[in-house]
Amino acid sequence: MWATTTAVSWKTLGLASLLLALGLEGVTRLLLFVLRGRQQRRSSASEVLFFPAPPTCTEALLRPSRPLPCACGLPHTESSLSRLMLRLLSARRSLELCIFSFSNPQLARTVLLLHRRGVRVRLIADSDYMAVKGSQVGVLRKAGIAVRHDQHIGYMHHKFAVVDKTVLITGSLNWTTQAIQTNRENILILEDVTVVKAFMEEFERIWQEYDPSTYEFFPAKK
């Protein structure tokens, strides 16, 4: 009788412990699976681009419907500019742009392409630099893209973009051909939720502050 009772209690304990062990192993495996997935998403998400980037042909990105390769003499290789364009072209719903100086035609065509595809584009510019020769801000505005600008003595010196409210593209690079092809510059691409949220909040703050209804006709000169 004692042996049977002992056997039963050991049996219960054994089964319970086995279930516990299996349960915990399951939890551990699930935990590791989820965390590994998160880590992979993290590492694939962040990217660093450095400039100057040598001129390359980006027509394949801007005219994806044309099957024939472009006949221009430029190299048809990847560059920091084409990587940047690819990241922008991944936008499906929204693109927030907060760019101090924007005169590069390829990046303007990238933004126009997204606008035509139905992506909601909003652009914040600096009032001085949007008026310089070669600026693409007027071109984008004429195409129907919403543009707002500062009226301050200081510069709106940000150079960042947010793709689909999830990907931040930021750095030292102004969106000018000189900066892309001649300067030492950096671009950092991140999907960190907290960082993206902070930049989106800054965008919305500026967007509200630069509401055209608050514009003065003769503001203090810079």
| Residues 71-100 contacting its own copies, CB under 8 A | 100
Contact window for its own copies (CB under 8 A) among 55-63, 77-85, 151-159, 213-221 = 151-159
11 is catalytic: no
Phi, psi of 82 (to 5 degrees): -65, -35
Measure CA 7 to chain center.
63
Q: What is the DSSP string of 58-108?
A: -HHHH-TT--SPP-SSS--S--HHHHHHHHHHT-SSEEEEEES-B--HHHH
Closer to its own copies by CB, 143 or 183: give it.
Answer: 183
Contact window for its own copies (CB under 8 A) among 74-82, 89-97, 148-156, 213-221 = 148-156
164 is catalytic: yes
Closest alpha carbon to 121 in 108, 106, 103:
108
CA–CA distance, 211 with 151 (Å, rounded to integer): 11
Question: Shortest Cβ distance from residue 57 to its own copies (Å)?
Answer: 22
Residue ranges in contact with its own copies by CB under 8 A: 3-4, 6-7, 10-11, 13-14, 17-18, 20-21, 24-25, 27-28, 31-32, 35, 43, 46, 48, 50, 52, 100, 150, 152-160, 170-173, 178-179, 181-186, 188, 192, 194-195, 198-199, 202, 206
